[in-house]
Amino acid sequence: MKIYLVRHGQCESNVIGRYNFVNEDINEVGIKQAEDLREKIKDIDYDIVISSPLIRALHTAEIINANNKKIITDERLVERKHGSLEGKSVDVTDRDDYWNYYTNTKYGTEERIPDLCNRIKEFLDELKTKDYKSVLVVAHSGVSKAFYVYFNGIPNDGRLLNLGLKNTEIKDYEL
C-alpha cells in the first residue's frame, strides 16, 4: 500500500512559534499552500483520505482532495499533545531536547514521544489490514516525525526535531 503523508497548511501558531494542539484553522498562506499542493497531486490515484480531525488538517484535506474521495478522520492522527505547554512559545523548551525520543526531561504535561510513536504505529498497523492500494493522510509535524520513526527507526541520537514535514510538504511511504 502506498501512503502519501501531507502536513497541514500554515496556521498562525506556525508563524509565531507557539505550541498548538487546539482547533486552529489554516491562514491565507495555508490555504494558498493547499491549493498549490492540490495542483501538484491531482494525478495521484488514492482510494481514500484519512485526516487528523483537527480543523487545520481537515481543512487542508478538503482543499487538496482533487479526486473528491471520501475523507474520514482518525483521532490517532492528532498532533503531539502539548499539555501544559499549550499556547506557549516554543522558546520555553529546548527544541532539540523536546523532540528527542530518549529525553527524560518533562517540560510540563506533554505527551511523551514514545506514546506518540505508539499511537501512530497502532494506526499504521491497522491500516495494513485494509484493502486500499493508496491512501492520502493529512496530519501534523509531530505525526510526520512518528511516521519517520515507524518506517526508518529511531535515529541513534534520538533527535527528531528536523525530521518532520514542513507545511503542505508531502512524503510517500510503502506500507
Q: What is the pLDDT of residues 110-121, one digit of tens each?
A: 999 999 999 999
For 21-62, what is each residue's pLDDT tens digit? Answer: 678 999 999 999 999 999 999 999 999 999 999 999 999 999
The pLDDT score that the predictor gives to residue 21 is 65
pTM over 0.85: yes
Are 117 and 31 spatial neighbours (Cβ–Cβ below 8 Å)?
no
Question: Residues, the chain, total?
Answer: 175
Class of domain 2-174 as given by CATH: alpha beta
User: Which residues lie across from 165 on neighbouring strands?
Assistant: none
Answer whether residue 103 shows pLDDT above 90: yes
pLDDT digits (tens, 9 = 90+) for 71-100: 999 999 999 999 999 999 999 999 999 999
Average confidence score pLDDT of the chain: 97
